[in-house]
Amino acid sequence: MTAAPFRIATYNLQKCVGLDLRRRPDRSLRVINALQADVVVLQEVDKRLAPRPAALPHDMVEEEGWHILPFGQPGGSLGWHGNAMLVRDGVQAIETAHIELPGLEPRGAIRADLDTPIGALRVIGLHLGLVRRYRLLQLGAINRALRQLPPMPTVFAGDFNEWGNGAALDAAVKLVRFLPAAASYPAPRPVAPLDRIALSPDLLALSSGVHRGRPAHIASDHLPVWADLAALPQKGRE
């Protein structure tokens, strides 16, 4: 029997401040819930100044049935360098870790090895720098970190800050392949595919897209991106 699709999504919350300049975590959570995802990778989930408290309150998230993976820091943050990950029931964290990233701006990535309905899955959540040179260095740092680990079906999801066609990203990352880019920024009239998802060859994207339903058009300057995944059969196994 074929397993049901497994949905992953990525969303830059812009600290829950919408294009109307109102901080509305309830509105941001409405968008997250509307994605109907099993795993949601978030960026800019915490406020900027130390101790970087969560812009999206823990209790509000948990009341909606989400489980917050343990990337937060002392002071009430939801994530690390603004990166966080939420999962639904049926998804269990095997291991979580931070990945330090180089660059002039403070940046980091998060890693979660998960037990999911489609099998073991490694999810890398990231928010890369504004300068391409540093973006490529940051991807190199992630590659090196992953080479130290046992192989596992892998997803990269996040705000890559890459305005072009993604050729530079493809050249920098050999482990995964990027799904066709779809414009997600700016939210009212998107022209740039800043938010992307990439998969290792043992994963299949059944479908993917950009979530445009209200209130996503105003809740952040980014639109969420999603993909429905299935695991490909391993070689030598039926």
User: Each residue of 179-232: pLDDT tens digit?
Assistant: 998 999 999 999 999 999 999 999 999 999 999 999 999 999 999 999 999 999
- Asked whether residue 40 carries a pLDDT value surpassing 50, the answer given is yes
pLDDT of residue 237: 45
3-state secondary structure 86-133: EECCCCEEEEEEEEECCCCCCCEEEEEEEEECCEEEEEEEEECCCCHH
pLDDT of residue 126: 97
Helix (H) or strand (E) holding 139: helix 132-147
Cα separation of 234 and 213, whole Å?
36
pLDDT of residue 14: 96
The stretch 130-149 carries a mean pLDDT of 94
pLDDT of residue 105: 84
The stretch 118-135 carries a mean pLDDT of 96
For residue range 98-113, list pLDDT tens digits in order. Answer: 999 998 888 999 999 9
For residue 214 the two structure tokens come to 């209200």
Are the C-beta atoms of 222 and 191 separated by less than 8 Å? no
Are the C-beta atoms of 94 and 116 separated by less than 8 Å? no
User: What is the number of other CB atoms lying within 10 angstroms of the CB of residue 22?
Assistant: 11
- Asked whether residue 49 carries a pLDDT value surpassing 70, the answer given is no
Cα separation of 81 and 45, whole Å?
9
User: What is the number of other CB atoms lying within 10 angstroms of the CB of residue 111?
Assistant: 21
pTM of the model: 0.94
Are the C-beta atoms of 157 and 124 separated by less than 8 Å? yes
The stretch 38-61 carries a mean pLDDT of 86
- Asked whether residue 128 carries a pLDDT value surpassing 80, the answer given is yes
pLDDT of residue 192: 96
The stretch 61-73 carries a mean pLDDT of 94
HSE (CB half, 13 Å, CA atoms) of 150?
Answer: 4
Are the C-beta atoms of 180 and 208 separated by less than 8 Å? yes
pLDDT of residue 6: 97
Give the residue from 64, 140, 141 showing the smallest Cα distance to 98: 141
Instruction: Using a pLDDT cut of 70, give the percent of the chain over it.
Output: 95
Cα distance between the two ends of the chain = 12
